[in-house]
């Protein structure tokens, strides 16, 4: 039948690792700004923090940074949704779905 699907991160993400790290850095700055403006509910970024991947971890894989970016985006959308901004709940769900694609099999089993 069909051959097993392999994840081609270059094709899926369309960015180089250094570009992904730059995006990760920008999103960290966005998180800090939003937390400073809206406050932090304490739970929106728990999953991101558990990944233990920051833009400073340049030795981490591209997959790990992609997962961190989608998980961080989900946390930002969740926080804005909890603060009453309409539409961010749907975005949070979609970003969660996207992050699932980048989880390692071991991470998926922990769910």
pLDDT in tens, 12-44: 557 899 999 999 999 999 999 999 998 887 789
> What residue spans define the domains of the chain?
15-109
Distance set, CA 81 to CA 45, 63, 70, 86 (Å)? 13, 27, 16, 6
Residue pair 17/65 in contact (Cβ under 8 Å)? The answer is yes
Distance CA 65, CA 71 (A): 10
Q: State residue 8's pLDDT score.
A: 55
CA angle (94, 23, 68) in 5-degree steps = 55
Q: State residue 6's pLDDT score.
A: 46
Mean pLDDT, the chain, whole residue set: 86
Q: Going residue by residue through the chain, which has 111 residues, state the pLDDT in tens, using 9 for 90 and above.
A: 444 444 555 555 578 999 999 999 999 999 999 999 988 877 899 999 999 999 999 999 999 999 999 999 999 999 999 999 999 999 999 999 998 888 887 776 665
User: Spelled out in words, what is the top-level CATH class assigned to the domain 15-109?
Assistant: mainly alpha
Q: State residue 14's pLDDT score.
A: 74
Which is nearest to 62 in space by CA: 13, 27, 17? Answer: 17
Query: What percentage of the chain carries pLDDT values higher than 90?
Result: 67
- Provide the whole-model pTM: 0.81
Q: Which tokens hold the place of 1?
A: 């039948």
| Polymer length of the chain | 111
19 Cβ contact partners less than 8 Å away, ≥ 6 residues apart? none
Strands annotated E in 13-106: none
């Amino acid at each position: 039948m069909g051959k097993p699907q392999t994840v081609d991160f270059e094709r899926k993400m369309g960015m180089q690792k250094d570009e992904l790290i730059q995006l990760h850095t920008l999103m960290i700055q966005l998180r800090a700004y939003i937390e400073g403006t809206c406050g932090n509910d304490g739970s929106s970024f728990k999953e991101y923090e558990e990944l233990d991947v920051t833009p400073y971890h340049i030795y981490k894989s591209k997959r790990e940074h992609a997962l961190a970016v989608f998980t961080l985006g989900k946390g930002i959308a969740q926080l804005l949704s909890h603060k009453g901004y309409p539409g961010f709940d749907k975005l949070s769900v979609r970003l969660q779905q996207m992050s699932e694609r980048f989880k390692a099999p071991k991470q998926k089993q922990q769910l």
